[in-house]
Structure 1
């Protein structure tokens, strides 16, 4: 029900993608003076587009910003989403989507940025946001001191060019979700991750979003395997069996 400058991800599909990131947020911890005890969780989205995925990510992190609204201080946010697009018009469309949804209830959850690519923004303009995260990455087992993101979402063409940079900015165990229309793109990404040790990612699963307005989820078996018949390594790409369905009811 909004104007479209970019193809939206429909609500059920967008919410399913965010659910796969397994984000859990709570009212932030504050000290006796009313200051936040911990730095804000920061998430990254490349491809603002229509702002539909942006909206669902904001919904997941909004509870961490309850104190910012309660205290009246927008700087005291417990979580921040950085939404990036290379197209200024698309970015403005996404901003309108957020600003007009329920009187802008999620407006303070997100910072919109414009840059040519995720790598450009992360390597140049993200320094002020990176500074919010304490320099304790060595204790967390991370060699790089640039990691500050608790999760990332890539909904853009050519995402494989930026996997290495994005992975180095992800904190330990932070999820990365990639949305692409072709299974071939997924397989190419898996092969790239497998071949490049500098891409610090461990593949988890591939989920199919059927056509339509969020018709459901199907999991694909995409992995490297050993082929007994030939004695060589190969790649599997097949649809897993359907085990059942989930029903939801409201009183």
Structure 2
């Protein structure tokens, strides 16, 4: 899906990138891996690539003043591979030495080879290649790329692979997925993300965001939904959507709670979400909409107790075109417990229940932090 400039600006603002600026004292330092690494899966035409590279450029030393090496595509039909001229080899070596001093890098992976080369051509041609040195381009499948990078890092540490080492070896601070079947990649990319890392899913349909939430719940992935936004013409910073899993309640149960109220009409109905009363509430309503009440969907008696998905806009404006963004954050059980206790102390309400609706953890009302950790 095409990412326009206005969409890219919104996505970058959601990431809240804040790399540490480069200083002259770091000019001779080289590291095996940068301190800030971002993965973009689905390079496309390179529009979002440019926006992200611009944000992280300040963390790296000034680029070299020499020309960039020529782009040479590998031709599998050739029986004899052509050798690079000495000048190109020297340029490539100089740039490789400079790249080892980077403190921030954007890895962009594209499965379609033609799109990969076109995107690099676009990035090289933008302002004389100002942001090209901060991006590494790859061709292939994102799952294979993540597995290879994790294996390389384990080999450098010379430790046997284990779930603990994978969790400690997470290196991707931010992940952006813009590709077909994006929901199938969640279980692969989260293994390379440390706690607190952010994941952005960009999809043309809100039902794909719902599929991501369903997979997170079914596979118990350590990802918490933060926000769902709709992008389109006439929207400055995105229209917020309420996308979550809820458990239906039976109509006769709801009627027994209120015997004086009239009987509900036949068929499933929905309880509309409450409007946000402040800017801060509007920002977090998609993940905290169940903090005050569960707002479950009443259903017929013969219905099952299987969770159902609701997808609806939180405001009543109409838009044209656009796409949908799902923002997720990787959280450990300990962090979830601390976060829930803090929100309880601040608001007097249990926030943890909304985590169930975001598709990851089920936490009932508790009275202490020890109760939360014990669940």
Q: CA deviation at 1:75?
A: 2.2
Q: CA deviation at 1:34?
A: 3.4
Pairing 1:201-240 to 2, within 5 Å after superposition: 201-211=223-233, 216-228=237-249, 229-230=298-299, 232=305, 233-240=307-314
**Is residue 49 of structure 1 aligned with residue 72 of structure 2?**
no
Pairing 1:1-251 to 2, within 5 Å after superposition: 8-28=2-22, 34-35=28-29, 39-40=33-34, 41-66=36-61, 73-115=98-140, 117-124=141-148, 127-128=151-152, 130=153, 144-197=167-220, 199-211=221-233, 216-228=237-249, 229-230=298-299, 232=305, 233-241=307-315
Cα separation, 2, equivalents of 1:105 and 1:42: 19
Kept in 2: contact 1:29–1:38 (CA 8 A): no
* TM-score, reference length from structure 2: 0.54
**Secondary structure at 1:209's aligned position in 2?**
strand
Greater fraction helix: 2
Displaced runs of 4 or more, over 6 A = 131-135
* TM-score, reference length from structure 1: 0.79
Q: CA deviation at 1:88?
A: 1.0
Partner of 1:249: none
Kept in 2: contact 1:68–1:74 (CA 8 A): no
Name the count of aligned residue pairs.
Answer: 228
Bigger drift between 214-223 and 154-163 goes to: 214-223
Kept in 2: contact 1:220–1:239 (CA 8 A): yes
Cα separation, 1, equivalents of 2:59 and 2:23: 9
Q: CA deviation at 1:144?
A: 2.7
Structure 2, unmatched stretches of 5+, are: 66-94, 159-163, 250-297, 318-375
Q: CA deviation at 1:207?
A: 0.5
Cα separation, 2, equivalents of 1:142 and 1:220: 36
Q: CA deviation at 1:147?
A: 1.4
**Secondary structure at 1:179's aligned position in 2?**
strand
Kept in 1: contact 2:30–2:100 (CA 8 A): no
Q: CA deviation at 1:95?
A: 0.2
**Secondary structure at 2:40's aligned position in 1?**
strand
Structure possessing the higher radius of gyration over alpha carbons: 2
Q: CA deviation at 1:22?
A: 1.4
